[in-house]
Homo-oligomer: A and B are copies of this chain.
Amino acid sequence: MSSNKPSLPKGTRDFSPIEMARRNYIFDTIKKVYKKYGFQQIETPAMENLSTLVGTGGDESDKLIFKILNSGDYLAKADEKALKEKNANGLTKSIAEKALHYDLTVPFARYVVQNQNEITFPFRRFQIQPVWRADRPQKGRYREFYQCDADIIGSDSLLNEVDLIKIIDDVFTELFQGKLNYTVSVNNRKILQGIVESVGEQDKFEDILVAIDKYDKIGEDGVINELLNAQIPSDSVLKLMSIIINKTSYEKAKSNDKYSNKPDLDLTTSSLKSLSKLIGSTLIGDKGVDELEFVFEKLKELGVKSANIKFDPTLSRGLGYYTGTIIEVKVDNFPSICGGGRYDDLTGKFGLKDVSGVGISFGADRIYDVLLDNNLYPEFEGDSTQVLFVNFGEKEQDYCLPLLFQLRNEDINAEIYPDVGAKLKKQMTFANNKNINYVVLVGSDEMASGKLTVKNMKTGEQHAFTIEELIQELKK
C-alpha cells in the first residue's frame, strides 16, 4: 500500500469532539424552538436527480451544483458531440444524472409535490442537514455546510411571518443570552416593486434590485454608479437614492445605541409610515406596506425578547424566489446568520401551482463562529466522560470492572483506562486532556477497605468513597 499524506477537499472540514458538542448545542436549541412552534422534522437525501436541482436558482446557482458521475461505464451513454468538442458543459447531463443538493428549499418543494396526498396543509416542516456548493472557499464560506430550515407551506396567513420572527427572537435570546446585539431586517418584495413603480422604472426592476441590494457593500456612490450604468435616468436615480438615504439615517440612529436589553420595535413602524408617504401610492406598494404593518403590529402586541427589528426597504436577498416578506438577521462584523422570506410559487416547477410558502434558514456554521468569537458557549460537562478508573494492574482492573459497570448502569458516563500497566502519569494526562471530572484510584488499600480514592480533577481534592457514595456524589 502506498503511503498517502491525508488531506481534505478544499472548503470541507472535520469536526472534533469539542466542535461537535458546540454544534449540537446550536442544533438542539434551534430544534427545540422549532418544535415549540409546531414544526415537524423531515430529511431528504443528499443526492437528487440533477434535473430536480437545475433551473431553480438561475445559471449562477447551477454552476454551484456538485454533480455525481454515473456509475459503471458512464461514457457509453455520453453525448458524442459534446465529447468530441470537449464541451464539458454540454457533456455533464449525459454522464452525471445525480447531484448534491445546494439548499434545503428545492428538495423540500420536491418533497411536498411528491407527497402532497399524505401531507396535511398548512405543513410546518423543519430540516437540518448539510448542503454542498462549489463556491470559492473563503473565511466563513465552506463547500459543505449545515442549514437549519423551517418553512410553512400551504397558508397565506401573515401569522406565519410573525411566528418565524418570534422563532428568530427565541433562538437568539437563548444563544446570545442577552449579551449580543443583533438586527432582524425585514422588507417585502412588493414594497420594492412599489418603489420601482413609483419612479416609473418597472422595466429595470431586476437591475435596480441588484444595485440597491449592494448598498451595504459599495455604499451610496457605488449604487448611484450602478444605476446610471443600467441606463436609469438621473432623476429616477435621485428619487431612488432619497429612499435609500432615508434608510441610512435609521442605520446611523441605531449604530449610536449601546447594547440595551430593551429591543427596538418603535422605529420600524414609524419608518414604514414615512416610507409609505415617500413612495406615493401604488397598488402593489400599498399591499406590501399593509402586509408589513400587520406583521409589525402583531409583534408589537406580543412583544419580543431581544431582537432589534428593523424595516429595511433595500433588503432583497438576491433575485431568487421571494415574492412577499423578506427577512435577514445580522450581527456586527458577520455576514447574515439567518434569512428567509415568502415565495408564492416554489412548487410550480414540479407541477403544483399556487401553493404559498414562507420560511427561514439559520446558518449554523456562522452562528458557530459568532458564539465562539463572543465566548458564548456554555460548558459541556455532562456530555463527556465523568469518571475514569485508573488501571494499576490486572488484579486492580478485575476489581474495578464491576464498579465501572455499576456506574454505567446508573447512566453515568465512565471508562477504565484499557491498557494494563500504563504509567500513572500517562493515565492522568489522558484524564486531563479528555476533561474528565473524577479519577478513581484503586490499589491494594482500596481493595481491602472498599473505599475508593476519588480525585476531583478540577479542585485537586481527594476523597475516600464507597461506590455507592461516589454514585450519590455524581448524582448531586
Q: Are B66 and A66 in contact (CB under 8 A)?
A: no
Q: Which of B13, B43, B411 contacts A15 (CB 8 A)?
A: B43
Of A20, A97, A302, most B-chain CB atoms within 10 Å: A20
* A132 close to chain B: CB less than 8 A: yes
Q: Which of B113, B401, B416 contacts A6 (CB 8 A)?
A: B113
Of A40, A51, A110, A412, most B-chain CB atoms within 10 Å: A40
Q: Are B157 and A419 in contact (CB under 8 A)?
A: yes
Give the contact-size bracket for chain A.
35 or more
Of A120, A160, A388, A398, most B-chain CB atoms within 10 Å: A120
CA gap between A188 and B233 in the complex, in Å: 82
Q: Are B42 and A16 in contact (CB under 8 A)?
A: yes
How far does the Cβ of A351 sit from chain B's closest Cβ, in whole Å? 4
* A280 close to chain B: CB less than 8 A: no
Q: Are A43 and B14 in contact (CB under 8 A)?
A: yes
Of A73-81, A213-221, A450-458, the one contacting chain B is A73-81
* A166 close to chain B: CB less than 8 A: yes
* A335 close to chain B: CB less than 8 A: no
* A175 close to chain B: CB less than 8 A: no
Of A84-92, A195-203, A246-254, A336-344, the one contacting chain B is A84-92
* A429 close to chain B: CB less than 8 A: yes
**Interfacial residues of chain A within 3-53, with CB under 8 A of chain B in the complex:** 3-9, 12-17, 20-21, 24, 32, 35-38, 40-49, 51-52
Q: Nearest residue in B to A40 (C-beta to C-beta)?
A: B17
CA gap between A43 and B163 in the complex, in Å: 32
Q: Which of B12, B37, B75, B420 contacts A408 (CB 8 A)?
A: B37
* A69 close to chain B: CB less than 8 A: yes
Of A122-130, A267-275, A368-376, the one contacting chain B is A122-130
**Interfacial residues of chain A within 312-361, with CB under 8 A of chain B in the complex:** 348-351
Q: Nearest residue in B to A124 (C-beta to C-beta)?
A: B415
CA gap between A304 and B38 in the complex, in Å: 41
CA gap between A36 and B81 in the complex, in Å: 59
A45-B14 contact given A4-B350, A6-B113, A67-B69, CB 8 Å threshold:
yes
How far does the Cβ of A147 sit from chain B's closest Cβ, in whole Å? 14
How far does the Cβ of A25 sit from chain B's closest Cβ, in whole Å? 12
Q: Are A166 and B405 in contact (CB under 8 A)?
A: yes
Q: Are B17 and A52 in contact (CB under 8 A)?
A: no
* A181 close to chain B: CB less than 8 A: no
Q: Are A408 and B36 in contact (CB under 8 A)?
A: yes
Q: Which of B132, B348, B384, B397 contacts A1 (CB 8 A)?
A: B348
Q: Are A418 and B144 in contact (CB under 8 A)?
A: no
Mask, A414-453, CB within 8 Å of B = 1, is 1111111000000001100110000000000000000000
**Interfacial residues of chain A within 53-99, with CB under 8 A of chain B in the complex:** 55, 63, 66-69, 71-76, 78, 83, 86-89, 91-92, 95-98
CA gap between A122 and B420 in the complex, in Å: 13
Q: Are B383 and A35 in contact (CB under 8 A)?
A: yes
Of A37, A67, A71, most B-chain CB atoms within 10 Å: A71
| Chain B residues, Cβ within 8 Å of A292 | none
A1-B74 contact given A14-B111, A17-B125, A48-B9, CB 8 Å threshold:
no
* A165 close to chain B: CB less than 8 A: no
Q: Are A115 and B16 in contact (CB under 8 A)?
A: yes
* A230 close to chain B: CB less than 8 A: no
**Interfacial residues of chain A within 127-159, with CB under 8 A of chain B in the complex:** 130, 132, 134, 143-144, 152, 155-157, 159
| Chain B residues, Cβ within 8 Å of A236 | none
Q: Are A43 and B20 in contact (CB under 8 A)?
A: yes
* A413 close to chain B: CB less than 8 A: yes
* A179 close to chain B: CB less than 8 A: no
Starting from the known contacts A1-B348, A35-B413, 7 additional A-B residue pairs (CB-CB under 8 Å) come to A4-B350, A6-B351, A8-B45, A36-B411, A69-B69, A74-B88, A155-B419
Can you give 25 A-B contacts (C-beta < 8 A)?
A3-B348, A6-B52, A12-B45, A12-B47, A16-B115, A20-B40, A20-B43, A32-B411, A36-B413, A37-B408, A37-B415, A46-B144, A67-B68, A69-B92, A72-B88, A73-B88, A75-B87, A78-B86, A83-B83, A157-B419, A159-B401, A298-B401, A301-B398, A302-B402, A302-B405
